[in-house]
């Protein structure tokens, strides 16, 4: 510009235009950016809710299925001659045994041709009449036409070549042969392996007799023992199910009877006989050998558990606990899963259904063209094999990640295996392989409400009364000091409160419990007595303390009351609780006194909640228009009468909203509960034991939960619950507060 000192007016105009254009551009850009970011923030807030919700959705979805292929089984003349169907854990081979061949046949799922035949030496000269494959491993038991039982296993050797490609070579190994009933054909076999690998088998023969025995590899076999009296069971035996201890045995017959034996107690006479008019057409134990799965002639599918009738019973008759979606025709095959409490059933009209025991959910259904003859479920639970009587094999890929969760298992009473009645239980991990995780959120919700309840019990009276005092009776200069102090209290990290409550306060409280509870009475009494004493003093003395500074007199009274409580505590304890309140609690309520109990939680949680309730209700009290107060005084009401009858009712919606916000905070409080309770998920409202809350439960369990697993998603459900609960509380509080504000404005 320096070499052009006097620009012409038109030039100046141009320059101004350029500037204004730039300004406009910046303005428009800023407009856009701020709008976008502002909306972005709101989207992110919504995203939290949506994301957490989306993570929980797969829990409630059905299983997904996709048919991989369908083909006729090669070299099978009649599909009904197939006795057993299996699949290896890599889902690379399907294998089966039919009565016509003395060998296991392996079909590759990649080339769809038979890749191996493994003859079993013991089948030479006879033929198989029954076969059973254990659900979890490829262990086979085969019954023959000459009354023997063959124990064998299918093996799949895995090798990797230089290019890291996998080859699997299937083979079979015969482990032993036991002669059960020479001269009779075996019609049904069933087997379980116990933890040391011994085979516990049960066998039915064509003359209606049942035998059980134990087979140990590489040891001389012991003779199988017969079950039942010499006289045969009525009807033809259609199914057997024995447990891995070789003790419990169920025998189903075609005349509609199911006999339950406790072999160790009585081999000859059934413990109970159950009538099934519809006939039991398929039965087996689900994994863990506790739930008996039954498929009936009318298409019903049920799970029965042994339930004790008395506490002391050792023998348990079975009861119908779960029922599943009914199939349109008689159940022809029931295949338990080898890994969870799921199972597959097939019906005479070709329907296939995948159910889950605990949740009673039907995860998927499909239909074959012909009646279902045999089923298999891979050990990874990702492939489902179904063979129709027309000889067609269908292999379906299954994705079934969370069958154990239903609305009922999360929020309802569930009858778990090994329990005598339906209960609410949270128990996410266990020691054994066949442990079933129990995901009832109810104990956690109860724990959350319990913690909040005791916290609010302590906090509400103190916080609201303190706020009333601060806003109505306190000198303004003192108030301007006190409010920031309470705000600081609100900022105290909860981990600090939790630490002090758990490690310092809980052990201390245990020693002075009766005295502390007594303080609830002694402190107010001492204060009232102090008031009376003060009134009796000469007026001259009283006027030395200005109005609004009574706090200075009250503080020592509070301390005096607390001291008196502690002094009287042991006296009361020896007078009413026989000198030991813990034993008294135990005798009176039948429950152990825990050091980290709900009283500790109540006080610690109160610490976190008091400042919140105090601040919000103080605001509500202070915002009551002063004309109300003046009118009340003018009518001759005292300070307290005005506060109690005018200010409190007017501000009560504000107090309510303060309590709601306090509740929201208490519900979500994590560290205090985590550190100051024992974190046991129990269903009890007693003040003398602890709790586990939703929030603490998330903090404890989510670091160990496998990503996208069931526990992980259930914890997201817990988070969603917390989110929803606090969101509702806070919204109610906020709406009430805004309406109150509008009301005051109008006055």
Partner 1 sequence: MHRPTLTQPTQSASRIAQLFRRGDHWLWLCGGALGLTVLLITGLLLLVVANGFTYFWPYKITAVDRADGTKLMGVVTATQPAVKETPAQTQLRVGNRELNNFDFIWVPTVQLTNFHQPPDAVQIERQENGDFIGFLQRVEVKGQTVASGDAAWTKLHELQPGARALAAQAKAIQRDGIGAVNARMQRAKLRLRSAQLKAPTGAAIDPLLKASVETEVAALQSDYDKLRAVSGELVARSIEAQAVLRTIDGQEKTIPLASIVRAFRPNTMSLVEKFGHYLSRAADFVTGEPRESNTEGGVFPAIFGTVMMTLIMSVVVTPFGVIAAFYLREYAKQGLIVRLVRIAINNLAGVPSIVFGVFGLGFFVYFVGGGIDQVFFPERLPAPTFGTGGILWASLTLALLTVPVVIVATEESIAAVPRGAREGSLALGASKFQTIFNIVLPASVPGILTGVILAMARGAGEVAPLMITGVVKLAPELPLDGSYPFFHLDRKFMHLGFHIYDVGFQSPNIEAAKPMVFTTTLLLISIVVFLNLFAIGLRDRIRRKYQTGAF
| Contacts (CB under 8 A) with partner 1, residues 531-570 | 531-532, 535-536, 547, 550-551, 554-555, 557-559, 561
Using CB under 8 A as the binding rule, whether residue 572 contacts partner 1 is answered as no
Q: Yes or no: say if 301 and 327 are a contact pair by the CB < 8 Å rule.
A: yes
Using CB under 8 A as the binding rule, whether residue 57 contacts partner 1 is answered as no
Using CB under 8 A as the binding rule, whether residue 491 contacts partner 1 is answered as yes
Using CB under 8 A as the binding rule, whether residue 699 contacts partner 1 is answered as yes
Q: Pick the stretch among 50-58, 82-90, 132-140, 303-311 that binds partner 1 (CB under 8 A).
A: 50-58
Using CB under 8 A as the binding rule, whether residue 711 contacts partner 1 is answered as no
Using CB under 8 A as the binding rule, whether residue 722 contacts partner 1 is answered as yes
Residues 581-610 that bind partner 1 (CB under 8 A): 607, 610
Using CB under 8 A as the binding rule, whether residue 703 contacts partner 1 is answered as yes
Using CB under 8 A as the binding rule, whether residue 520 contacts partner 1 is answered as no
Residues 650-689 that bind partner 1 (CB under 8 A): 661, 664-665, 667-671, 674-675
Using CB under 8 A as the binding rule, whether residue 487 contacts partner 1 is answered as yes
Q: How far apart are alpha carbons 246 and 235 in whole angstroms?
A: 24
Using CB under 8 A as the binding rule, whether residue 461 contacts partner 1 is answered as yes
Q: How far apart are alpha carbons 188 and 238 in whole angstroms?
A: 7
Q: Pick the stretch among 238-246, 273-281, 309-317, 456-464 that binds partner 1 (CB under 8 A).
A: 456-464
Rounded to a whole number of angstroms, the minimum distance from the CB of residue 707 to partner 1 is: 5
Rounded to a whole number of angstroms, the minimum distance from the CB of residue 169 to partner 1 is: 23
Rounded to a whole number of angstroms, the minimum distance from the CB of residue 634 to partner 1 is: 9
Q: Yes or no: say if 341 and 404 are a contact pair by the CB < 8 Å rule.
A: yes
Using CB under 8 A as the binding rule, whether residue 727 contacts partner 1 is answered as yes
- Toward partner 1, which CB reaches closer, 368 or 675? 675
Using CB under 8 A as the binding rule, whether residue 731 contacts partner 1 is answered as yes
List the Cα angle 261/334/103 in 5-degree steps: 100
Using CB under 8 A as the binding rule, whether residue 730 contacts partner 1 is answered as yes
Using CB under 8 A as the binding rule, whether residue 639 contacts partner 1 is answered as yes
- Toward partner 1, which CB reaches closer, 368 or 486? 486
Q: Pick the stretch among 84-92, 342-350, 404-412, 725-733 that binds partner 1 (CB under 8 A).
A: 725-733
Looking up tokens 């029954």 gives: 130
Q: Yes or no: say if 442 and 714 are a contact pair by the CB < 8 Å rule.
A: no
Q: Which are the contacts of 713, defined by CB distance < 8 A and separation ≥ 6?
A: 55, 56, 58, 59, 402, 405
How far are the Cα atoms of 56, 132, 239, 491 from residue 236, in angstroms, in the given order?
A: 49, 18, 9, 77
Using CB under 8 A as the binding rule, whether residue 734 contacts partner 1 is answered as yes
Strand, coil or helix: 182? coil
Rounded to a whole number of angstroms, the minimum distance from the CB of residue 43 to partner 1 is: 11
Q: Yes or no: say if 148 and 184 are a contact pair by the CB < 8 Å rule.
A: no
Using CB under 8 A as the binding rule, whether residue 741 contacts partner 1 is answered as no
By CB atoms closer than 10 A (0-12, 13-18, 19+), residue 704 is exposed
Rounded to a whole number of angstroms, the minimum distance from the CB of residue 398 to partner 1 is: 25
Work out which of 325, 329, 462, 545 binds partner 1, going by CB under 8 A.
462
Looking up tokens 């296991």 gives: 104
Work out which of 541, 707, 746, 747 binds partner 1, going by CB under 8 A.
707
Rounded to a whole number of angstroms, the minimum distance from the CB of residue 729 to partner 1 is: 7
Using CB under 8 A as the binding rule, whether residue 576 contacts partner 1 is answered as no
Q: Which residues of 614-644 are buried (b: 16+ CB within 10 A; e: fewer)?
A: bbbbbbbbbbbeeebbeebeeeebeeeebbe
Using CB under 8 A as the binding rule, whether residue 528 contacts partner 1 is answered as yes
Using CB under 8 A as the binding rule, whether residue 638 contacts partner 1 is answered as yes
Centre a 10 Å sphere on the Cβ of residue 557 and count the other Cβ atoms it contains.
Answer: 20
Q: How far apart are alpha carbons 437 and 425 in whole angstroms?
A: 9
Q: Which are the contacts of 379, defined by CB distance < 8 A and separation ≥ 6?
A: 89, 136, 137, 338, 339
Centre a 10 Å sphere on the Cβ of residue 224 and count the other Cβ atoms it contains.
Answer: 20
Q: Pick the stretch among 109-117, 169-177, 192-200, 481-489 that binds partner 1 (CB under 8 A).
A: 481-489
Q: How far apart are alpha carbons 92 and 336 in whole angstroms?
A: 21
Q: Which residues of 559-596 are buried (b: 16+ CB within 10 A; e: fewer)?
A: ebbbebbbebbeeebeeebeeebeebbeeeeeeebbeb
Give, for 520, the enclosing helix (H) or strand (E).
helix 506-536
- Toward partner 1, which CB reaches closer, 226 or 697? 697
Give, for 17, the enclosing helix (H) or strand (E).
helix 9-56
- Toward partner 1, which CB reaches closer, 44 or 158? 44
Rounded to a whole number of angstroms, the minimum distance from the CB of residue 395 to partner 1 is: 27
Using CB under 8 A as the binding rule, whether residue 523 contacts partner 1 is answered as yes
Q: How far apart are alpha carbons 229 and 270 in whole angstroms?
A: 10
Residues 347-386 that bind partner 1 (CB under 8 A): none
Work out which of 13, 15, 503, 567 binds partner 1, going by CB under 8 A.
503
Rounded to a whole number of angstroms, the minimum distance from the CB of residue 28 to partner 1 is: 9
What single DSSP character describes residue 501?
Answer: I
Centre a 10 Å sphere on the Cβ of residue 57 and count the other Cβ atoms it contains.
Answer: 10
- Toward partner 1, which CB reaches closer, 327 or 675? 675
- Toward partner 1, which CB reaches closer, 333 or 469? 469
Q: Pick the stretch among 75-83, 127-135, 329-337, 698-706 that binds partner 1 (CB under 8 A).
A: 698-706
Q: Yes or no: say if 624 and 647 are a contact pair by the CB < 8 Å rule.
A: yes
**Strand locations in 103-147, DSSP E?**
103-108, 114-119, 128-133, 139-144
Work out which of 484, 543, 742, 746 binds partner 1, going by CB under 8 A.
484
Work out which of 41, 269, 273, 631 binds partner 1, going by CB under 8 A.
41
- Toward partner 1, which CB reaches closer, 333 or 663? 663
Q: How far apart are the first and last CA of the chain?
A: 63
Q: Yes or no: say if 569 and 521 are a contact pair by the CB < 8 Å rule.
A: no
- Toward partner 1, which CB reaches closer, 210 or 676? 676
């Amino acid at each position: 510009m320096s070499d052009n000192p006097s620009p012409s007016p038109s030039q100046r105009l141009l320059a101004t235009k350029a500037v204004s254009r730039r300004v406009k551009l910046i303005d428009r850009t800023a407009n856009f950016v701020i709008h976008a970011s502002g909306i972005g923030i709101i989207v992110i807030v919504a995203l939290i809710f949506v994301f957490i919700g989306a993570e929980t959705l797969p829990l409630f979805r059905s299983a997904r299925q996709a048919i991989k292929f369908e083909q006729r089984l090669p070299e099978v003349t009649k599909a009904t001659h197939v006795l057993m169907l299996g699949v290896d854990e890599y889902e690379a081979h399907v294998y089966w045994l039919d009565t016509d061949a003395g060998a296991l046949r392996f079909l590759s799922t990649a080339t769809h041709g038979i890749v191996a035949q493994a003859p079993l030496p013991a089948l030479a000269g006879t033929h198989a009449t029954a076969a059973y494959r254990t659900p979890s491993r490829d262990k086979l038991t085969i019954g023959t036409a000459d009354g023997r039982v063959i124990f064998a296993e299918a093996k799949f050797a895995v090798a990797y070549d230089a290019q890291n490609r996998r080859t699997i070579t299937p083979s079979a190994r015969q482990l032993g042969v036991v002669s059960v009933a020479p001269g009779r054909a075996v019609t049904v076999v069933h087997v379980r392996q116990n933890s040391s690998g011994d085979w516990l088998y049960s066998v039915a023969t064509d003359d209606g007799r049942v035998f059980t025995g134990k087979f140990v590899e590489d040891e001389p076999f012991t003779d199988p023992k017969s079950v039942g009296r010499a006289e045969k069971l009525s009807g033809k035996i259609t199914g057997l199910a024995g447990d891995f201890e070789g003790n419990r045995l169920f025998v189903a017959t075609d005349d509609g009877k199911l006999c339950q034996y406790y072999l160790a107690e009585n081999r000859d006479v059934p413990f109970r006989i159950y009538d099934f008019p519809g006939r039991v057409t398929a039965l087996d134990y689900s994994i863990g050998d506790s739930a008996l799965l039954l498929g009936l002639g009318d298409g019903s599918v049920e799970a029965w558990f042994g339930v004790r009738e008395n506490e002391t019973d050792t023998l348990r008759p079975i009861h119908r606990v779960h029922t599943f979606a009914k199939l349109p025709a008689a159940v022809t095959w029931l295949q338990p899963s080898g890994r969870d409490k799921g199972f597959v059933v097939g019906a005479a009209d070709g329907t296939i259904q995948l159910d889950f025991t605990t949740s009673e959910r039907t995860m998927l259904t499909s239909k074959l063209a012909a009646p279902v003859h045999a089923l298999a479920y891979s050990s990874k639970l990702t492939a489902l094999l179904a063979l129709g009587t027309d000889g067609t094999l269908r292999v379906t890929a299954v994705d079934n990640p969370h069958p154990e969760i239903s609305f009922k298992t999360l929020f309802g009473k569930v009858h778990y295996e090994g329990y005598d009645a339906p209960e609410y239980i949270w128990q996410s991990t266990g020691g054994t392989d066949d442990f079933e995780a129990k995901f009832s959120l109810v104990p956690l919700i109860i724990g959350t409400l319990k913690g909040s309840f005791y916290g609010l019990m302590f906090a509400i009276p103190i916080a609201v009364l303190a706020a009333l005092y601060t806003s109505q009776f306190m000198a303004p200069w003192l108030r301007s000091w006190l409010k920031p102090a309470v705000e600081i209290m609100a900022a105290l990290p909860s981990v600090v409160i939790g630490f002090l409550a758990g490690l310092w306060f809980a052990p201390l409280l245990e020693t002075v419990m009766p005295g502390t509870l007594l303080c609830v009475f002694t402190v107010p009494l001492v204060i009232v007595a102090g008031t009376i004493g003060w009134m009796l003093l000469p007026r001259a003395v009283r006027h030395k303390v200005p109005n609004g500074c009574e706090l200075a007199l009250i503080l020592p009274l509070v301390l005096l009351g607390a001291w008196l409580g502690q002094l009287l505590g042991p006296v009361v304890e020896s007078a009413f609780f026989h000198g030991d309140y813990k034993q008294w609690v135990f005798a009176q309520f039948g429950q152990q006194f825990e050091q980290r109990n709900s009283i500790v939680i109540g006080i610690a949680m109160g610490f976190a909640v008091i400042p919140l309730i105090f601040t919000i209700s103080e605001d509500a009290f202070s915002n009551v228009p002063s004309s109300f107060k003046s009118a009340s005084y003018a009518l001759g009401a005292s300070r307290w009468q005005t506060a109690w009858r005018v200010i409190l009712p007017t501000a009560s919606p504000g107090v309510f909203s303060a309590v709601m916000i306090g509740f929201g905070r208490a519900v979500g409080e994590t560290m205090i509960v985590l550190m100051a309770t024992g974190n046991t998920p129990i269903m009890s409202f007693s003040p003398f034991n602890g709790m586990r809350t939703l929030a603490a439960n998330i903090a404890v369990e989510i670091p160990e939960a496998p990503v996208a697993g069931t526990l992980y998603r259930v914890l997201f459900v817990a988070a969603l619950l917390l989110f929803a609960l606090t969101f509702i509380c806070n919204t109610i509080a906020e709406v009430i507060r805004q309406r109150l504000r509008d009301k005051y404005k109008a006055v």
